[in-house]
Amino acid sequence: MKRKIAAILALALALVLALASCSKEAMATDTNGSYWGGDRDMSASAPESSGTGGDWSEDSWNDVVGATGEGVNTAPSMTEKMIYTADVDVETVDFDAAVDSVEAMLERFGAFLESSSVSGRSYSDSYYGYQTYRRAYFTIRVPVSSFTQLRDGLEDVGNVVSKNTYAENITVQYYDTESRAKAYRIEQERLMAMLEKCETVTEMIEIESRLSEVRYQLESLESTLRNWQNQVDYSTVNVTIREVEEYTRPVEIHRTYWQQIGDGLQNTFESIGDFFKALFKWLVVNLPVILVAAVFIGAALAALIAIIRGGRRRSARKNRAVEAEYTQTDNEDKRE
C-alpha cells in the first residue's frame, strides 16, 4: 500500500515539474517575439544596455522594430481613396471667348489652374495674313465634389470632340503607407526615449544612426501621403481648346455607298479649293519679291545670252579668216 502511494506521489511530482518546464519555455518564446500566446504588454520597454560596452545585437534591434507594430491598428472601416482625371478636347470658333469661359468656370467651381499655355499665332502670321489657329492647354485642379460638373460644363465652351475619364483606386496603397508611417512614428518615439538613457558613446552613435534613417523614411512616407491626399481632394481636368474655322461635322453611323463617295468628293474639292486659295494668297503677298527676283533673273539671262552670242560671232569670224587664208594658199599653189 505504501509503495502505491509513493508511486502516485512520484507521478504527481513529475507532472508538476513538466508543467512548470512548459510554462517557462512558453514565457521564453513570448519574450523573444517568435510566438504571441495572448495579449502582448503594450508598455514593453526597449532593450536596455548592460552598461559594459553597448552590446546591441541584431536581435535587439529586431525587438525594437518589431515592437513598433504594437500600437498600429488598421481602421475598421476605410474610406475609399479615389483619384479622378479627365481629358477633354474642345473646338471653338471664338477662341478668346472660350478661354474667358474656362477662367470663369474656375471661380464658379472653386478650382485653380495648375498650368496653362497658349500658342499658335504670331505677329508675322497676322501681318502677312497667314491662316493659323491657336491652341490653349489647361491643367485644372477642381474639388472632387465639383469634378463632374466642371467636366460636363466644358460642353458649353465649344464643340467637345473627345472626353475621357479615368479613376484610380489607391485605398490599399494609401492605408498601407499610413500604417507604415505610424510604425515609424512609434519607433522614433522609442528611439528618442532610448537616446536619453544611453550610457556610452557607442550606444548613442548607433541609436542616432537608426533615428536618422527612421526620420528619412517617415518624411518620405508623409510626403507621399500628402501628395495622394491632394490628388484625392482635388481631381485633375486636362483641357485642350483648339481654334477652328468651322466645327467638325458629326458623321452618321450608317452611310450608304454613294453617300460615302459623295463625302469623299466633297472633301477632295474642298482640299483643292483650299490649295488654290492658299497659292493665290501666297502669290499676292510675295508679289514684290517675285518681281524683284524676276528682274534679276531676266538681267542674268540677258547677260548670258549676250555672252553666248558674242562667243558665236567671234568663232564665226575666226572660221572665216581661216577659210580665206586656206583659199589664198590654195590659189597660189595652183599658179605655180
Confidence class of residue 210 from pLDDT cuts 50, 70 and 90? very high
Spatial separation of the C-alpha atoms in residues 195 and 187, rounded to whole Å? 12
Helix (H) or strand (E) run with residue 159 in it: strand 159-169
What is the C-alpha separation between 195 and 186, in angstroms, rounded?
A: 14
Distance CA 249, CA 299 (A): 52
23-34 pLDDT, tens digit per residue, is: 444 333 333 333
pLDDT at 169: 94
Confidence of residue 38 (pLDDT cuts 50, 70, 90): very low
Mean pLDDT, the chain, as a whole number? 77
| Residue 2: per-residue pLDDT | 46
Question: If phi over 0 gives left and psi between -120 and 50 gives alpha, with beta otherwise, what is residue 134?
Answer: beta
Q: For residue 72, with 0-12 CB atoms within 10 Å meaning exposed, 13-18 middle and 19 or more buried, which class applies? A: middle
Q: What pLDDT, on the 0 to 100 scale, is given for residue 197? A: 87
Mean pLDDT along residues 214-232: 95
Indicate the pLDDT class of residue 67, thresholds 50, 70 and 90. Answer: very low
Residue entry with cell 501621403: 225
pLDDT digits (tens, 9 = 90+) for 269-310: 888 988 888 888 888 888 888 888 888 898 888 888 888 888
* 212 has a pLDDT exceeding 90: yes
